[in-house]
Amino acid sequence: MDLGDWLFLDMRILFDRLITPDTTRTRRLLLGSDWIARKISRGGNWNKIRIGLHYQFVDQGTNISGTPKLWIGMGNWLKGVGNYNAHFLGARTNMATWTRSVSNGVALFSSVAFTASKMVGQTETTSGSASFNIGTQQNSRRWLILVDIDKTTPSAVSVSVYTSNNTVSGIYDMTYDLFLDAMEQAVPANVSYTKSTISSTMTVDEATNGVLDSVNIGWSRTNFPIEIAGLAVGYYDTFS
């Protein structure tokens, strides 16, 4: 695996967050009802790619209703997921209500469904579904989502998702070191993860719709903002 882009968002930092109990400060980008894009060094010259999102949601102590949408994937630099004429491929949450719960003293949104998502213009095609826990802020813990995309066969693109299980005893915070370590493992195992291939039937046509050359992160809600602590991209020869 080539960890080709280690995209900390230092140029768009809004504030520092204090991590307890070890008093580490981390820089954050606050995203609410908006999207971001970062062009990768390889452009569209990739077949298998991993996108790592190091994050927290700001805990309001309640559920999130109204079908909140989190997109993680690859888009065209001029046609990102928030663009009217979009070209995007990746994963998106797909649940009417995110239910807040507490497990082993850790607050989270439990069993949030993800689907594979392709957007061309304003038309979205989805495929498959799998459920994962999504982290929310408690003692400033950071969580991790990994999205693997394999477009080796454009007529049968595979999209998989990993999420860190911060409810497991002893995992209080996904540090930058744990984040980087997980990015470099074909099958992340440095902590406990939930993993599922949510679709292997998506299609992609970059010649017609635009090269997928940029990381895209989108979030649909303003009242439950997401804090992004880091963003990374890895290029793989094989996924296991």
142-179 pLDDT tens trace: 899 999 999 999 999 999 999 988 777 566 688 888 88
Q: Residue 237 and residue 25: Cα distance in Å, rounded?
A: 35
CA distances in angstroms from 107 to 24, 38, 168, listed in the order given:
20, 30, 12
- The letter for the amino acid at 151 is K
Q: Does the structure show a pLDDT above 50 at 237?
A: yes
**What is residue 116's predicted lDDT score, i.e. its pLDDT?**
97
Cβ atoms 13, 223 nearer than 8 A: no
For the domain that residue 129 is a member of, what is the CATH number? 2.60.120.200
DSSP for 10-78? GGG--EEEEETTTTEEEEEEEESSEEEEEE-TTTT--SEEEEEEEEEEPP-SS-B-S---EEEEEEBTT
User: Would you say the C-alpha torsion 89, 91, 95, 97 has a positive or negative sign?
Assistant: negative
Rg (CA), the chain: 17
Tell which residue, 175, 148, 168, 162, has the closest CA to residue 26: 175
**What is residue 165's predicted lDDT score, i.e. its pLDDT?**
83
Residue 103 counted as domain residue: yes
In this predicted model, what pLDDT tens digit does every residue of 191-235 receive, in sequence order?
888 899 999 899 999 999 999 999 999 999 988 888 888 888 888
Q: Residue 33 and residue 70: Cα distance in Å, rounded?
A: 10
Work out the percent of the chain whose per-residue pLDDT is above 90: 48
Residue 88 counted as domain residue: yes
Q: Residue 232 and residue 240: Cα distance in Å, rounded?
A: 19
Tell me the pLDDT band of 2, cut-offs 50, 70 and 90.
Answer: very low
**What is residue 121's predicted lDDT score, i.e. its pLDDT?**
95
DSSP for 164-218? E-TTSTT-----HHHHHHHHH-SS--SS-EEEEEEEEEE---HHHH----EEEEE
Q: Residue 117 and residue 127: Cα distance in Å, rounded?
A: 7
Tell me the pLDDT band of 22, cut-offs 50, 70 and 90.
Answer: very low
Q: Residue 148 and residue 146: Cα distance in Å, rounded?
A: 7
> What predicted TM-score, i.e. pTM, was given to this entire model?
0.89
Residue 240 counted as domain residue: no
Residue 180 counted as domain residue: yes
Cβ atoms 118, 202 nearer than 8 A: yes
Q: Domain tally for the chain?
A: 1
User: Would you say the C-alpha torsion 3, 94, 14, 34 has a positive or negative sign?
Assistant: positive
Q: How many residues does the chain have?
A: 240
- The letter for the amino acid at 176 is Y
In this predicted model, what pLDDT tens digit does every residue of 94-146 receive, in sequence order?
999 999 998 877 888 999 999 999 999 999 999 999 999 998 866 567 899 99
Residue 107 counted as domain residue: yes
- Domain of residue 89: give its range: 2-235
**What is residue 138's predicted lDDT score, i.e. its pLDDT?**
61
